[in-house]
Amino acid sequence: MPATEIVSTEPATGAVLWRQAIGNVDAEVALARESWAEWAARPLAYRIEALRRFANVVRAKADAFTDLIARETGKPLWEARTEVETVIAKVDISVTAYSERTGQRRIDAPMNTRLALRHKPHGVLAVLGPYNFPAHLPNGHIVPALLAGNAVVFKPSEKTPATGAFMVECYHAAGIPQGCVRLLVGGGEQGKELAGHPDIDGLLFTGSANTGIALNRQFATRPEKILALEMGGNNPIIVWSTPDLYSAAVLVVQSAFTSAGQRCTAARRLIVDEKLCDPLVAEINKLINRMIIAEPHADPAPFMGPVIDNDTADMLTESFLALSTRGGRPLRHLERPIEGRPFLSPGLIDMTDASDKPDVELFGPILQVFRTNDFAEAIAEANNTRYGLSASLVSQDPKLYDQFWANIRAGIVNWNRPTNGASSAAPFGGIGWSGNHRPSAYYAADYCAYPVVSSESEQARASIGLGLRDA
């Protein structure tokens, strides 16, 4: 029998955290459709004030929200707290972005006319959220969508529905009309039904490339609907010409293993000068040996917690073995330190001489190592992917960074910084299989409203000077 409810469990303990009946897609879309026009007709200042109240509600409930995110995702408490702070900060960032990217403008025009540029909301937007940042990432769509005057039907990941439900309650507590933010509880089937619903005006998605590509195909015959895809990455970090191997190792570890590797911007591939490889790997191993991997509330605080569930941990373990069978040389095996729970210790594998180098996003703490003797070859290896989200260079040579920046294919290009930790005050997106040229974060305003250009005059005065016979 098909499932009738969604149950959320804590990855670190297996305890049941939350359960709720699966929602009705038609009903949720209908409520949003009934509500959006009145919300859109409100002055912008009214919507801004409502969203600032939302930020205040989240601020007042920050401790409970932090605890819930930590329990439902397994991420450390400190990281969950950072996510809540990002949710709060998103409102003011979005207000600034709306003004800059989609504000009203007057343009000079001839003959006592004026040219006005304004923006209109699309209507009802569906938001599909991921499990790794179950509040921050969907909130990055929802806030700018509401600010522009849209209504939203939000389906959180079936792996983190409690966080999504908590956030929707905060919107409603702030006075945003219940019909304008609807929570759809469900799994993959409900996600497909929502994406294909005739009464949505667009879909804002964060998730895997495979799902994003399927959505792109689904929307190919519906050009009237906006589709914004933020997908994953097979992200490279290059280490070259740097004397400080400890700092380089820290940047690699932060890039590859923060959030247990469950970030779309996480480094999946370390590309390193042959001369530096062994000492760099030794420094990385020293850091991993000191790494605390534990449940979210542990004391001392862990660097990382578990991956999202046992199925994911099993898949990652099998993937590490598959890389070995393709010629990869394990430098540090992926291990399961707690039997029956999805905790993983970081794995390192040298894929330099592998016969097959799969271009896949392994969404967990696995780092593939590639050695090379030539910097141009290192960039070529970094670009040897269909993805193009994030890339980083660790080097003391500014000329190498100039060469790297000019030639790397990615939407986020960093120097002596991790591949992850992108700012919400900047656009966030990639090329290739990482997105469809709809960057989110600061540029989310662009896909939440469409421009309307009006040529206007207070009086109708017109004449035709050529091409008419005499009266």
Active site residues: 230, 264
The closest alpha carbon to 292, from 310, 307, 304, belongs to 304
> Are the C-beta atoms of residues 179 and 110 closer than 8 Å to each other?
no
Question: CA-CA distance, 212 to 280, in Å (whole number)?
Answer: 36
The closest alpha carbon to 393, from 403, 377, 435, belongs to 403
Angle between helices 77-102 and 62-73 (to 10 degrees): 110
Does the CA dihedral 402-407-412-418 come out positive or negative? Answer: negative
**β-strand partners of 18:** 8
Q: For the chain, how far is it from start to end, CA to CA, in angstroms?
A: 80
10, two tokens: 């804590």
47, two tokens: 């919507």
* Cβ-based neighbour number of residue 16 at 10 Å: 10
300: cis peptide before it, omega within 30°?
yes
DSSP-derived 3-state class of residue 74: coil
Question: CA-CA distance, 190 to 341, in Å (whole number)?
Answer: 28
